[in-house]
Structure 1
Amino acid sequence: MQNPQKILAPYIKEGMTVLELGCGPGFFTFDIAQMVGTSGRVIAADLQQGMLEKIRLKMKNSELKGQITLHRCTENTIGISDNIDFIFLFYMVHEVSDKKLLFNEIELLLNENGSIFIVEPPFHVSQKAFEEMICIAEGEGLRVVERPKLFLNKTALLKKH
């Protein structure tokens, strides 16, 4: 299992607005909400309404519910207009058919000093496919600033050019 606090603590600070794109059932969501504190916000976005409902159920009994906004995106757009400080893409970029469109929209949402953290699975995504994703991101105005070590996973931390 992944440890959300250990993975994200170096990048997420109190007061940030974080977009967790492809949030699934919320494995990282509540830890992110704790990290951003009461002055921050997590936008938990997913294509599947069922995943968002799982988070909604968990939110009912959580003191962190005030920091979490649920958002259903579509296959063609994230569909938010917020200024984002940090975007977390965990095991989801390989699922997106139009990566150019995805990274273009992400670049537009990201604050000037914001970051994007991409984590892709070790066996499902080849190194070549991962590097192709990164090339697409770089073509949309993003640049790799770090390759965090995360046991066997393929990772990249990106910022705007």
Structure 2
Amino acid sequence: METKKKRQMVCPVQMAGLLDNRLRRLIQNPKKLLEPYIQDGMTILDVGCGPGFFSIEMAKMLTHTGKVIAADLQEGMLDIVKRKILGTELEARIELHKCAEDKIGISEKVDFVIAFYMVHEVSNQESLFRELKSILKPNGKIYIIEPKFHVSKNSFEKMKDKTTELGFQIAETPKFVFSRAVVLTIN
């Protein structure tokens, strides 16, 4: 019963087209949003990657070395990313990873994590943050962006408080249209 409840909270594969379109690119431009954080050679985790809106753009920013781990709970979302990158140079820079219901499940250390509009979908956020902390390299960053229409200011503040209790430090609180955002590092 609980599994059904969790799955209902996750944006369904049928909505993937709404997550990757021209209007969204104007409002939530991946290059503008992420370029200050991405450097060649990085290992990047896009947790809850959906149809690859950010994964593909970050992989393009890695011009010589590095990779993006596009992780999602839904095989259908990963299939969409796979179709988009099939036969392109991005295929070598994007690693697809299916998460378990309650765990990302990667052991590789990463330099940067983006969690875009997905933390509110996770039932055990403390567990998520503990796992992210365990895979983040020293000086690594986690960029969390949550939608104002799903996450109240109070809920977002509680989430930030939980991250600091777990040993994260707030590096920045970027302003982002229709959203609440924070960039975390490890203390």
TM-score interval w.r.t. the shorter chain?
A: over 0.9
Cα distance in 2, alignment partners of residues 98 and 107 from structure 1:
15
How many residue pairs get aligned? The number is 161
Who is 2:130 aligned against? Answer: 104
Who is 1:24 aligned against? Answer: 50
Who is 1:121 aligned against? Answer: 147
Q: Does 1:35 find its partner at 2:52?
A: no
Who is 2:179 aligned against? Answer: 153
Who is 1:136 aligned against? Answer: 162
Compute the displacement of 1:136 (Å): 1.4
Amino acid at match of 1:67: R
Contact kept, 8 Å, 1:120 with 1:153, in 2: the verdict is yes
**Matched residues, percent identical?**
47
Moved over 6 A (4+): none
Amino acid at match of 2:117: Y
Cα distance in 2, alignment partners of residues 86 and 29 from structure 1:
12
Compute the displacement of 1:124 (Å): 1.1
> What are structure 1's unaligned runs of at least 5 residues?
none
Residues 19-49 of structure 1: CA distance to partner in whole angstroms, max 9, x if unpaired?
0000001111111001122311000000000
Q: Name the Cα RMSD after superposition.
A: 0.9
Who is 2:88 aligned against? Answer: 62
Compute the displacement of 1:158 (Å): 0.4
- Which of structures 1 and 2 has the bigger CA Rg? 2
DSSP 3-state at the match of 2:45: strand
With normalisation by structure 2, the TM-score equals 0.84
DSSP 3-state at the match of 2:89: coil
* Bigger share in helix: 2
Residues 24-76 of structure 1: CA distance to partner in whole angstroms, max 9, x if unpaired?
01111111001122311000000000000000111113221100000001121
DSSP 3-state at the match of 1:156: strand
Contact kept, 8 Å, 1:38 with 1:66, in 2: the verdict is no
> What are structure 2's unaligned runs of at least 5 residues?
1-23
Cα distance in 2, alignment partners of residues 102 and 37 from structure 1:
30
Contact kept, 8 Å, 1:14 with 1:39, in 2: the verdict is yes
Who is 1:94 aligned against? Answer: 120
DSSP 3-state at the match of 1:33: helix
